[in-house]
Amino acid sequence: MCDLKGKVVSEDSMAERMHGPARIPITMCHGLNLDREPPFDAERFAGHCRIVSEMGFTSISYDQLSAWRRGEADLPMRPIMFDFDHPTKSIHHEIHPIMQDLGFRGNLFINTGPMEEMYSGPLPDFDARSWMTWEEIGRLMEAGWHIGAHTHTHPNLSELSTKDASGDAVRAELTKCDEILNRELGVEPRDFAFTGTSWSSAAEREVQKRYRFGRLWIVGAAYQADGREVRYADLAGIPGDDEANEYLDCPKRKGYELPDPVEEDIFEMSEEDRAGRGIASLPGDLAEAIAVTEKSELVREALGDHIFEKFVENKKIEWDNYRKHVSQYELDKYLPVL
């Protein structure tokens, strides 16, 4: 089993015995979402992926993770897992091309109920459907994407356990999902994503029988488990306070005082006017921005020491490469002088 950060909690991992526990970051989303604020559109997703690429991460699948845990393969220096729940059409048509350009592949967990409903009659036109077709999912597989199970009707597993303590209902959910994935894609899923922020003892027992990994999606500090709300840290056996709650209550996030709005064109102001209004200038170039970032305790706290150091290191490399680059402007302006 893996938690959201990819901590392997199984005690029989060959890789753990050889190298000790490892944490692998796992990102998860349901595809693009233009209804939220700010919209999670293709441009925003591409920006996230470029940051991950600049930081030197390499995407891996659950097959690669399993081979590493068995001691049969090595992982890249900086592995990351891109997980997607639900077969939304934006994953094939917008997300996949962005990831492919950067050399990334994803792991798609499919709840088969929407697919079955979509295929219950004439297939809707592209604009009228929310989901991928089986053929589109097949093309993702051909491109190296990994497929996992995500139940059939996407029930709240915590609530389901209170209605059916025997576990028959969750077994039926998993069986139907597995059967449809096998029939339509030729896949026998070996990995599972729990639904929403819900978990149950009955679901975990069934998942352990059927699959290699069960991924838990964690949002905040609380989790729905066996009909009640629990701290995720307690569920996973992780000691310490809830970092998620601490972040939400962080005075640094609440304590900023917004300055008075400025409606004039600040670029028409003199330096003295801007200084008198408390308007500071942004860094003039990447080198200045790096120098400011290195002094920022807020950025270090938000990213953590390891990512902070690597981020600054990568940006210094980027600046060094830029300094050695001769732009077209410089060629046009100065080459004729020579």
Top-confidence residue, 302 or 90? 90
Q: Note the pLDDT tens digit of each residue in 302-312.
A: 788 888 888 89
Cα distances (angstroms) measured from residue 327 to each of 199, 315, 322: 55, 19, 9
The answer to the question of residue 265 being in a domain is no
The answer to the question of residue 68 being in a domain is yes
pLDDT over 90 at 58, yes or no: yes
201-205 mean pLDDT:
94
Name the residue with tokens 């051909």.
Answer: 142
Query: How many folded domains does the chain comprise?
Result: 2
- 216 and 299 housed in the same domain: no
- 55 and 154 housed in the same domain: yes
Pairing relationship of beta strands 222-225 and 228-231 according to DSSP bridges = antiparallel
pLDDT computed for residue 12 by the predictor: 47
pLDDT computed for residue 5 by the predictor: 34
Which helix (H) or strand (E) covers residue 32, if one does? none
Q: What percent of the chain has pLDDT over 90?
A: 59
- 213 and 296 housed in the same domain: no
Top-confidence residue, 147 or 231? 147
- 209 and 293 housed in the same domain: no
- 236 and 292 housed in the same domain: no
- 192 and 289 housed in the same domain: no
pLDDT computed for residue 97 by the predictor: 98
The answer to the question of residue 119 being in a domain is yes
Q: Note the pLDDT tens digit of each residue in 250-294.
A: 444 455 566 777 878 888 888 888 888 888 888 889 999 999 999
162-168 mean pLDDT:
93
Q: Residue 323 belongs to what domain range? A: 280-337
Q: CA-to-CA distance for 54 and 67, rounded, in angstroms?
A: 26
pLDDT over 90 at 76, yes or no: yes
pLDDT over 50 at 326, yes or no: yes
pLDDT computed for residue 1 by the predictor: 33
pLDDT over 70 at 335, yes or no: yes
- 224 and 285 housed in the same domain: no
Crossing angle for the helix pair 134-142 and 168-185, to the nearest 10 degrees? 70
- 190 and 288 housed in the same domain: no
141-164 mean pLDDT:
96
- Tell which residue, 223, 212, 159, 164, has the closest CA to residue 189: 212
Q: CA-to-CA distance for 190 and 178, rounded, in angstroms?
A: 9
pLDDT computed for residue 47 by the predictor: 92
Inter-residue contact 69 to 13 (CB < 8 Å): yes
User: Which residue, 240, 269, 300, sits at the end of a domain?
Assistant: 240
The answer to the question of residue 89 being in a domain is yes
Q: What percent of the chain has pLDDT over 70?
A: 88
pLDDT computed for residue 7 by the predictor: 35
Q: CA-to-CA distance for 30 and 18, rounded, in angstroms?
A: 35
pLDDT computed for residue 256 by the predictor: 58
Residue type at 27 in one-letter notation: T
C-alpha torsion angle, residues 52, 53, 57, 58 (rounded to 10): 120
Query: Residue 310: which residues within 8 A CB-CB, separation 6 or more?
Result: 55, 56
- List helix spans (H) across 104-220: 113-118, 134-142, 157-163, 168-185, 201-210
Name the residue with tokens 């139907």.
Answer: 176
Q: Note the pLDDT tens digit of each residue in 226-237.
A: 999 888 777 667
The answer to the question of residue 229 being in a domain is yes
Inter-residue contact 86 to 111 (CB < 8 Å): yes
- The conformation of residue 128, written as its DSSP 8-state character, comes to G
- 329 and 229 housed in the same domain: no
Average pLDDT, the chain: 87
- 120 and 204 housed in the same domain: yes
CATH number, residue 140: 3.20.20.370
- 127 and 196 housed in the same domain: yes
Inter-residue contact 191 to 215 (CB < 8 Å): yes
Query: Residue 245: which residues within 8 A CB-CB, separation 6 or more?
Result: 220, 221
What DSSP line would sit under 276-305, residue for residue?
Answer: HTT-PPPPSSHHHHHHHHHT-HHHHHHH-H
pLDDT over 90 at 212, yes or no: yes
Q: What are phi and psi of 2, to 5 degrees?
A: -125, 140
- 201 and 303 housed in the same domain: no
pLDDT computed for residue 11 by the predictor: 36
CB atoms within 10 A of CB 10: 12
The answer to the question of residue 64 being in a domain is yes
Cα distances (angstroms) measured from residue 86 to each of 130, 154, 166, 286, 330: 10, 9, 27, 39, 49
Supply 262's token pair: 């400025």
Residue type at 72 in one-letter notation: E
The answer to the question of residue 255 being in a domain is no
Q: What are phi and psi of 253, to 5 degrees?
A: -85, -25
Cα distances (angstroms) measured from residue 257 to each of 184, 282, 316: 56, 19, 32
Q: Note the pLDDT tens digit of each residue in 93-141.
A: 999 999 999 999 999 999 999 999 999 999 999 999 999 999 999 999 9
C-alpha torsion angle, residues 278, 282, 287, 291 (rounded to 10): 40
